[in-house]
C-alpha cells in the first residue's frame, strides 16, 4: 500500500513539475492569447461578471489542464473536440478538455486499483473515466442544439418583421441577440460581433453554420446567401423557412413520442443490471466478490457490458428516425 502511494506521489510530482515549467515558459504568450480571445469570442453575461477570485482560479485550472493536454493530444482530435466545445458553448480549449479527460481517467484508475487491487478492473474504469467527460459534453451539446433549433422559428420571424419595418439585416439580427435568450442570442451576437470587426457577413454566417451544425439553420443560411447574390424578398423567404422549420419541429415531437418506449428500453437495459448488482452487493457482498476477484467473473462482466452496449446502439439506431 505504501509503495503504491509513493508511486502515485512521484507520478503526480512529475506531472505538476512539467506543467509548472510549461506555464513559466509560455505564460506571457498565454496571456496575450487570452486577451485576443476576449475580442474574438462572445462570452455570456454570467461568465463576464464572475467574481475575480473564482475567475482567476478557473483560468489557472484550465491552464494546468491545457498544459497536461498538450503533452498527449493530437491535431485531428483537437479539432474535433474544439468543434464540440464550441457547439456546447463550453469555454475551454481542446487541450484543457483533454487534460480533464486524462485527470478523470487517472483518478478513477487509481481509486479502483487501490480499492480492488485488480488491474483489469482499474484499467476498464480508467478507460470509462476518460470517456465520461466526452459523454457529458455530447449531452450538453445536444441539449444546446435542441434549444437553438426550437428558438430558430421565432428568431426568423423577428428578423422578417424587422426587415419589413425598414431595418437592415445586421440590425434585425442584432435585435434577436438582444431580445432573445441563449443560445440563439449568443450565436447571432457572435455573428454581429465578427461582422463589426471586419469579417464579411457571408463568412460570419458560414462560421455560424460550422459551429452549430444544424440542418434548419443551414437552410436559413443557404437561403440568405442565395438572396444576397440574386436578390428577392428576404422577409417572405424567411417567413416560408420559419413555417417549414415549425412543421419539422412538430413532426420531430410526434416521432419522439412514438419512439419513447424504445428509448426507455435502452435506459432500462443499462440501468437494470447495475441496480440488481448493487442490491445483491448490499445483501450478500461475498456473492458478488467472486465476479470481481476471479478471472472468469471479470470475463463475464466484460462480456455482459459489451452486449449491453451493442443492444443500446441497435435500439438507438432503430428509434433514430430522420426528418
Integer-rounded Cα radius of gyration of the chain: 25
Q: 226 and 251: one domain? A: yes
Q: 270 and 246: one domain? A: no
Q: 153 and 247: one domain? A: yes
The pLDDT value recorded for residue 209 is 86
The pLDDT value recorded for residue 53 is 44
3-state secondary structure of 288: helix
Q: 103 and 233: one domain? A: no
Q: 268 and 210: one domain? A: no
Give the domain-ending residue among 118, 140, 162.
140
Alpha carbon 88 to its chain centroid, in Å, reads: 4
CA nearest neighbour of 272 among 314, 299, 307, 308: 308
The pLDDT value recorded for residue 157 is 92
pTM, 2 dp: 0.66
Q: 172 and 273: one domain? A: no
Residues of the chain with pLDDT under 70: 1-76, 323
Q: 136 and 149: one domain? A: no
Q: 93 and 194: one domain? A: no
Q: 236 and 306: one domain? A: no
Number of compact structural domains in the chain:
3
Q: How many CA atoms lie within 13 A of 45 on its CB side?
A: 7
Q: 7 and 100: one domain? A: yes
- Domain span at 27: 2-140
Q: Which helix (H) or strand (E) holds 72?
A: none
Give the C-alpha separation, 199 to 216, whole Å: 24
Give the C-alpha separation, 175 to 185, whole Å: 9
| Look-up of cell digits 487517472 | 106
Amino acid at each position: 500500500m505504501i509503495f503504491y502511494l509513493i508511486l502515485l506521489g512521484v507520478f503526480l510530482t512529475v506531472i505538476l513539475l512539467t506543467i509548472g515549467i510549461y506555464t513559466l515558459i509560455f505564460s506571457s504568450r498565454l496571456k496575450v492569447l487570452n486577451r485576443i480571445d476576449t475580442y474574438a469570442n462572445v462570452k455570456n453575461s454570467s461568465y463576464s461578471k464572475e467574481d475575480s477570485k473564482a475567475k482567476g482560479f478557473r483560468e489557472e485550472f484550465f491552464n494546468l489542464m491545457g498544459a497536461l493536454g498538450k503533452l498527449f493530444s493530437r491535431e485531428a482530435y483537437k479539432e474535433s473536440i474544439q468543434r464540440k466545445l464550441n457547439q456546447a458553448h463550453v469555454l475551454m480549449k481542446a487541450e484543457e478538455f483533454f487534460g480533464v479527460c486524462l485527470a478523470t481517467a487517472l483518478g478513477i484508475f487509481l481509486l479502483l486499483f487501490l480499492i480492488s487491487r485488480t488491474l483489469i478492473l482499474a484499467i476498464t474504469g480508467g478507460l470509462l473515466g476518460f470517456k465520461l467527460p466526452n459523454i457529458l459534453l455530447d449531452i450538453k451539446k445536444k441539449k444546446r442544439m435542441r434549444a437553438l433549433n426550437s428558438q430558430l422559428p421565432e428568431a426568423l420571424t423577428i428578423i422578417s418583421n424587422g426587415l419589413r419595418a425598414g431595418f437592415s439585416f445586421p440590425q434585425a439580427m442584432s435585435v434577436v441577440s438582444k431580445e432573445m435568450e441563449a443560445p440563439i442570442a449568443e450565436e447571432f451576437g457572435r455573428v454581429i460581433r465578427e461582422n463589426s470587426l471586419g469579417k464579411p457577413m457571408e463568412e460570419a454566417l458560414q462560421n455560424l453554420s460550422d459551429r452549430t451544425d444544424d440542418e434548419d439553420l443551414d437552410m436559413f443560411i443557404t437561403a440568405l446567401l442565395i438572396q444576397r447574390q440574386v436578390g428577392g424578398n428576404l422577409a417572405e423567404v424567411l417567413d416560408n423557412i420559419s413555417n417549414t422549420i415549425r412543421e419539422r419541429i412538430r413532426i420531430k415531437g410526434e416521432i419522439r413520442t412514438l419512439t419513447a418506449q424504445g428509448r426507455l428500453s435502452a435506459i432500462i437495459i443499462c440501468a437494470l443490471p447495475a441496480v440488481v448488482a448493487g442490491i445483491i452487493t448490499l445483501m450478500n457482498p461475498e456473492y458478488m466478490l467472486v465476479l470481481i476477484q476471479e478471472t472468469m467473473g471479470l470475463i463475464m462482466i466484460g462480456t455482459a457490458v459489451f452486449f449491453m452496449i451493442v443492444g443500446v446502439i441497435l435500439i438507438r439506431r432503430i428509434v433514430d428516425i430522420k426528418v
